[in-house]
Amino acid sequence: MNRHLLSIDDLAVDDVRTIFDTAVEMHDVQKRQVKKLPALRGRTVINLFFEDSTRTRSSFEIAGKWLSADTINITGKGSSTSKGESLRDTVLTVCAMGVDALVMRHSASGSAKQVSEWVDAVVINAGDGTHEHPTQALLDAYTLERRLGSLEGRRISVIGDLTHSRVFRSNVLLLTKLGAEVTVVAPPTLMPSGIDAWSKDAGFATSYDIDEVLPTSDAVMMLRVQRERMNGAFFPSAREYTVGYGLTRDRLASLAEGTPILHPGPMNRGLEIAADAADAAHSLILDQVSAGVAVRMSVLYHLLAGEEATA
């Protein structure tokens, strides 16, 4: 396994299997009365978040604490970057305090890789711009495997704002790596440029027709419309987006019975996903949140404790 986790491309299939196998054990920790393992005792993990986050940041914090690491949260608004300090100076300053790992989220694509070249600490990409979010993809695939078994040959549809989604990019890389047949669906204005060439190389399909794709899907992943990243009009109105690409009550009925529904959150209820779909019995949205802690515990463990350590 590579020293850092910056992209899904850093992981071979065997690495993914190792992370999932350990995550199963870590998942059991959530059922214990005392949720503590000694694996990372004496190690220090900084969650350095320059963008807002609820799930990812709290998930990493809980994961580190349950492994007995000392975890500290730093946000952009409360750091010296708000006073004009550069990203390089901020991370060098933090790492000079003896940090073992940086979990970093930043609005700039490629920022996690850049930081990994500046510091000696392990760097985990917790989302960099519109580039990648590898631990989200890991927890999504882990959640799906727990429900569906092997993903080999499974038809998985990823639907929504693809242009601004780092989750989409990491998920396509991982799901195809695990043998799934992935179809991505979006309106033309939210389909990334150059996706035709990429889809041929990576082995996934594209579609503009959600109603054609849904009935044949073994699992559906809805993506958030990221209006905060849009500097123009990508669709005429929220209602027209919902009519064209939302997982509405009517479309929910077109799914095969029990088809898993995923969403990485936060959700825009009533826009890309109806409340009936988000709260359906076959929705795995809260399972994703729970799996996030287990998978991130596994990632921290393998990157920091090493293969010979015991949990």
Do 304 and 70 meet the contact criterion of CB atoms below 8 Å apart?
no
Question: Using CA atoms, how far apart are residues 149 and 308, in angstroms rounded to an integer?
Answer: 29
Residues within the annotated binding site for L-aspartate?
83, 166, 224
Within its chain, how far is the Cα of 131 from the centroid?
11
Do 146 and 124 meet the contact criterion of CB atoms below 8 Å apart?
no
Question: Using CA atoms, how far apart are residues 262 and 255, in angstroms rounded to an integer?
Answer: 13
Question: Using CA atoms, how far apart are residues 182 and 207, in angstroms rounded to an integer?
Answer: 11
Question: Using CA atoms, how far apart are residues 86 and 197, in angstroms rounded to an integer?
Answer: 36
Residues within the annotated binding site for carbamoyl phosphate?
55-56, 105, 133, 136, 265-266
Question: Using CA atoms, how far apart are residues 244 and 256, in angstroms rounded to an integer?
Answer: 20
Residue 106 CB partners (closer than 8 Å, separation 6+): 50, 51, 87, 112, 127, 128, 129
Question: Using CA atoms, how far apart are residues 228 and 179, in angstroms rounded to an integer?
Answer: 33
Integer-rounded Cα Rg, in Å, for the chain is 19
Angle CA 62–63–66, to nearest 5? 80
CA separation, residue 233 to residues 56, 122, 186, 222, 230 (Å): 29, 39, 15, 20, 7
Residues within the annotated binding site?
55-56, 83, 105, 133, 136, 166, 224, 265-266
Residue 244 CB partners (closer than 8 Å, separation 6+): 187, 210, 235
**Tokens coding 27:** 């998942």
**Tokens coding 20:** 């999932």
